[in-house]
Amino acid sequence: MAGIVRLARFRDRTRVFYAVLEDGEVAREVAGDPFAGDPFGAVEIASQETRATSGLEWLPPCRPSKIIGVGRNYRDHVAEMGHTAPAEPLLFLKPPSSLLPHRGVIRLPSDSQRVDFEGELGVVMGREARRVSEAHALDYVLGYACVNDVTARDLQVKDVQFTRAKGFDSFCPFGPCIAIGLEPDGLVVETLVNGRRRQSSPVSRMIFGIRRLISFASAVMTLLPGDLIATGTPEGVGALEPGDEVSVSIEGIGVLTSRVEKSGSPAAGHGGGESWPRHSCCC
């Protein structure tokens, strides 16, 4: 997969910065903010010096103004949940405050008795998109990431709609990076819990493909640079328990890993590791 740039976002003791990952272990800092100018331009390396990621705090690789989820987008998942396949994409929104970085902690809320993992391919928009055609939809994509659409399943059933069940702080692990230059059609989404594979499916099994999802969503709302589309989960979803380690893995992107704790645990901390401004911001 030559030519792929893996763009990550970190914080050290003094500042937040973007960096290009090399082998997932070291990072080279990027000059400026990739979302402030033309995200389709070449990524400019600020220094040849590498830094070990072990000495840095991971952050979500961008700060989307909105997170668009897609429900029931794999036929086998539709079947395992006892639903019928939708005639058109089923969209919902997760709040940006639900974002969680790589190696963050998913906090299980006390008012839910069943919280599920849902490994997914995430699509990160690179420029503003409004009513784009399927034929040109991928022209608006910056890259791809791993997403875990964590869901309080019992609350989803109780509420009918998805806002509370999918909106808790820490319920959107996202990362570890944005893979730029990746061809998505041959990708496989895998989820492991405590090292055991629980989900594995090619994205080609999606009911509505990436082009269709972008075109459909952009006809409803303007997509902005940094906005995230979580494209749906395959079959194999299951419950998370305190102490679990859950990882979403997609070749070409990397592995997004989270620990699981009860809400209020001292180990949990803040979901995204950041303070969130009142205004929307993509990065």
Which tens digit of pLDDT belongs to each residue from 6-16? 999 999 988 99
Query: According to the model, what pLDDT value does residue 12 have?
Result: 94
Q: Is 278 exposed, middle or buried (0-12, 13-18, 19+ CB in 10 A)?
A: exposed
For residue 182, tell me if it sits in a domain: yes
| Within-domain flag for 275 | no
Q: What per-residue confidence (pLDDT) applies to 25?
A: 85
Tell me if 89 is assigned to some domain: yes
Quick one: 225 and 126 in the same domain? Answer: yes
- Residue that is last in its domain, among 58, 75, 96: 58
Q: CA 23 from chain center: how many Å?
A: 20
Looking at the fold, whether 180 and 54 belong to one and the same domain comes out as no
Could you give the CA distance from residue 169 to residue 261 in angstroms, rounded to a whole number? 13
Report if residue 273 sits inside a domain. no
**Whether residue 207 sits in one domain with residue 68:** yes
Tens-digit pLDDT profile for residues 176-213: 999 999 999 999 999 999 999 999 999 999 999 999 99
85/98 same-domain check: yes
Are 69 and 124 within one domain?
Answer: yes
CATH of the domain at 52: 2.30.30
Do 239 and 126 share a domain, yes or no? yes
113 in a structural domain: yes
Question: 128 with 224, same domain?
Answer: yes
Alpha carbon distance 62, 227 (integer Å): 8
**Residue 167 resides in a domain:** yes
Mean pLDDT by 10 residues, the chain (283 residues): 87 93 90 76 81 95 97 92 92 98 98 98 97 98 98 96 97 98 96 98 97 98 97 97 98 98 67 42 33
Domain count, the chain: 2
Whether residue 283 lies inside any domain: the answer is no
129 and 43 in a single domain? The answer is no
Task: Give the residue from 189, 188, 177, 95 showing the smallest Cα distance to 143.
Answer: 177
Residues 11 and 123 in one domain: no
pLDDT for res 274: 60
Whether residues 132 and 20 share a domain: the answer is: no
172-180 and 99-100 strand pairing: parallel
The domain containing residue 47 runs over which residues?
Answer: 5-58
Q: What is the pLDDT of residue 59?
A: 98
Distance of CA 86 to the CA centre of its chain: 23
H/E/C letters for each residue in the chain? CCCCEEEEEEECCCCEEEEEEECCCEEEEECCCCCCCCCCCCCCEEEEEEEEHHHCEEECCCCCCCEEEEECCEHHHHHHCCCCCCCCCEEEEECHHHEECCCCEEEECCCCCCEEECEEEEEEECCCECCCCCCCHHHHEEEEEEEECCEEHHHHHHHCCCHHHHHCCCCEEEEEEEEECCCCCCCEEEEEECCEEEEEEEHHHECCCHHHHHHHHHCCCCECCCCEEECCCCCCCEECCCCCEEEEEECCCEEEEEEEEECCCCCCCCCCCCCCCCCCCCC
Indicate if 14 and 142 belong to the same structural domain. Answer: no
- Residue 82, pLDDT score: 86
Number of Cα atoms under 13 Å in the Cβ half of residue 77: 27
47 and 173 together in one domain: no
Q: Does residue 280 belong to any structural domain of this protein?
A: no
**pLDDT the model gives residue 265:** 65
